[in-house]
Chain A
Amino acid sequence: KAGVTQTPRYLIKTRGQQVTLSCSPISGHRSVSWYQQTPGQGLQFLFEYFSETQRNKGNFPGRFSGRQFSNSRSEMNVSTLELGDSALYLCASSLTVHEQYFGPGTRLTVT
């Protein structure tokens, strides 16, 4: 069974630009969660989508948004990028609340 895939793996953007990251979950998984990791911080929860609906949301500004498609693939968008948005963005898919399978992450650098 293929794992969780994320594209792109690396990205360099300039302050003020916007970016879209993509996550393809494991086949059959309907829940996709997004996390941000910055140096010294744990994985900070951004949001979770289930069957195309946002089910949970973390404490991030409205510049961070997401969506999920009917095939469960999810995208995360960050508008008006700031230097502090430089981070590793991980997505995780799950079938039940007892598990999360993580992708390899997208490393975003904002200059």
Chain B
Amino acid sequence: ILNVEQSPQSLHVQEGDSTNFTCSFPSSNFYALHWYRWETAKSPEALFVMTLNGDEKKKGRISATLNTKEGYSYLYIKGSQPEDSATYLCAFIRHTGNQFYFGTGTSLTVIP
């Protein structure tokens, strides 16, 4: 069984706070790591695809880093806004297949 873990499970922050969460995955046989944002009653939406150790990606106030040697990725949100409230999922893909292994997600609530 391949474990992808995300922490914390849930997070409540005040509007304007910056926050970050972690995705841990096996460090061997790495191919790619995906981050998704999943708002209630909507479909998961891709945020980032990360493939190289040391990758840093940014989209507006959201950024992510990747460390494949130690098997973790961080997602950062700067100046959280209520519209950032969602569940953030990461998915690990091994080198030997097309299957996505998802973590259980971090549920973020931004309080106005």
Per the CB 8 Å criterion, the residue count for chain A at the interface is: 25
Is B71 engaged at the interface, CB distance under 8 Å to the other chain?
no
User: Given that A55-B98, A56-B97, A98-B32 are contacting pairs, would A41 and B44 also be in contact in the complex, using a CB cutoff of 8 Å?
Assistant: no
From known contacts A43-B89, A97-B32, infer whether A3 and B43 are also in contact, taking CB-CB under 8 Å. yes
A42 adjacent to chain B (CB < 8 Å): yes
Contacts of A42 in B (CB 8 A): 4, 89, 102-105
The dominant DSSP class at the B interface is strand
Residues on the A chain within 8 Å of B42, using CB: 104
Q: Which A residues lie within 8 Å of B51 (CB)? A: 98
Residues of B within 8 A of A (CB): 4, 31-32, 34, 36, 42-46, 49, 51, 89, 91, 93, 97-105
Residues of A within 8 A of B46 (CB): 99-101
Q: Which residue of A lies closest to B103 (CB)?
A: A42
Expressed in whole angstroms, the minimum distance between the Cβ of B51 and any Cβ of chain A is 8
Within the complex, the shortest CB–CB distance from B102 to chain A, in Å, comes to 4
Contacts of A105 in B (CB 8 A): 43
Contacts of B91 in A (CB 8 A): 43, 100
Partner of A90, one of B44, B45, B99: B44
B interface footprint on A22-63 (CB within 8 Å = 1, 0 otherwise): 000000000101010000111111001000000110100000
Known: A99-B49, A100-B46. A45 touches B100 (CB 8 A): yes
Q: Is the CB of A48 within 8 A of B104?
A: no
Q: Is the CB of A81 closer than 8 A to any CB of chain B?
A: no
Chain B minimum-CB-distance residue to A50: B98
